[in-house]
Amino acid sequence: MKKITAILLMALMVLSLTACGNQTGKDNNGSEGSTEPTSVTITTLNGQKEETQLEVPYNPERIAILDLAALDIIDSIGVGDKVVGMAQTSIDYLSHYSENKNIKNLGTIKEADIEAVMECEPDIIFIGGRLSASYDKLSEIAPVVYLATDSSIGLVESTLKNARTIASIFGKENEVEDKVNQYNSRINNLKSIASGKNALVGMTTSGSFNILGNDGRCSIIGNEIGFNNLGATGNTSTHGNEASFETVVAKNPEYIFVMDRDKAIGKAGTASAKEIVENDLVKSTPAYKNNHIIYLENPNVWYTAEGGIQALDMMLKDLEKGLGM
């Protein structure tokens, strides 16, 4: 009898353990449960601007942001509450981060306050190209995610690619496709206006006019939107190539798109883009005569947040307004 009782007790224990095992492996609906990873591996850039594989913590709790396009994306996917430190910005739709006293000031997108970054004890750090030289130093604090736009695939595809990368860190992959693809119809409408037309794309800075190509800033105008960019020769990827206004006249553009860099960076005491561009020489061009000189209304977005999801929306709005849509 004692043996039978012992055998029954053992059987009950086995059944109990089996039941417990099934509960930890399934959710309330009886389907197999999943355990979140502790880390994920992403493709990013290193300090030499080369693609590399980087292991980063999955769904990190403390984020340091030194790139405004990355902050834009993080805000868009709803994880902005994890930001503990950031570079300062004058962009209105991101200003609530700058104004939050619980978020540490980490300097600028061009010059990080390394000590401040250390003090905010981040799990992960996001930077852009302006801070590539600080990549190694920042990597001593936490994994550094360095993402950039790539004019060879276009701004829109770059934005989507980078948004996918950032979203994968937080398990938000399903939220980015529609956010970027919603702009396709607007881009197609802009394309219909640009078709068969030429333009110069330029940036005013400290009294000068620099011509921009399709390989850097504002490249969406010539690439995705489709204006024949008359300045798309040579390397113009950083600040463009300084040009005389005789050159502008010689190119005889139908449209001129202008980004005011001084306004973008809040530089005081400088002439406005309009004061620089609308001189007697430029007034002889078809662009001026037909009221086709378009001053981009949000230069700080174009100059500092290009590559963000919300930035793309604002850039398209600037083009739509400038083209009378």
pLDDT at 34: 61
H or E segment and range at residue 211: strand 208-212
For residues 227-255, average pLDDT: 88
pLDDT in tens, 234-243: 776 677 888 9
Mean pLDDT of the chain: 89
pLDDT at 33: 52
Least confident span in 39-53, 206-220, 226-240, 268-282:
226-240
Alpha-carbon span 45 to 229, nearest angstrom: 29
pLDDT in tens, 150-193: 989 999 999 999 999 999 999 999 889 889 989 999 999 999 99
Query: Which conformational region is residue 284 in: left (phi greater than 0), alpha (psi within -120 to 50 degrees), or beta?
Result: alpha
Alpha-carbon span 305 to 298, nearest angstrom: 10
pLDDT > 90: what percent of the chain?
Answer: 78
How far is CA 26 from each of CA 13, 14, 171, 209, rounded to the nearest angstrom? Answer: 20, 19, 20, 64
Query: Which conformational region is residue 13 in: left (phi greater than 0), alpha (psi within -120 to 50 degrees), or beta?
Result: alpha
pLDDT at 235: 75
| Position 281, amino acid | L
pLDDT in tens, 304-316: 999 999 999 999 9
Confidence band of 285 (pLDDT split at 50, 70, 90): very high
pLDDT > 70: what percent of the chain?
Answer: 89
Q: What residue ranges of the chain are covered by domains with CATH 3.40.50.1980?
A: 39-181, 185-322
For residues 89-112, average pLDDT: 94
pLDDT at 175: 86
Domain 39-181 classification at class level: alpha beta
H or E segment and range at residue 212: strand 208-212
Q: Does the pLDDT of residue 16 top 70, yes or no?
A: no
Confidence band of 36 (pLDDT split at 50, 70, 90): confident
Q: What is the 3-state secondary structure (H, E, C) of 77-103?
A: CCCHHHEEEECCCCCHHHHHHHCCCCC
Q: Does the pLDDT of residue 45 top 70, yes or no?
A: yes
**Which CATH number is correct for 185-322, 3.30.70.260, 3.40.50.1980, 3.30.10.20, 3.40.50.300?**
3.40.50.1980
Give the pair of three-digit tokens for residue 85.
């430190």
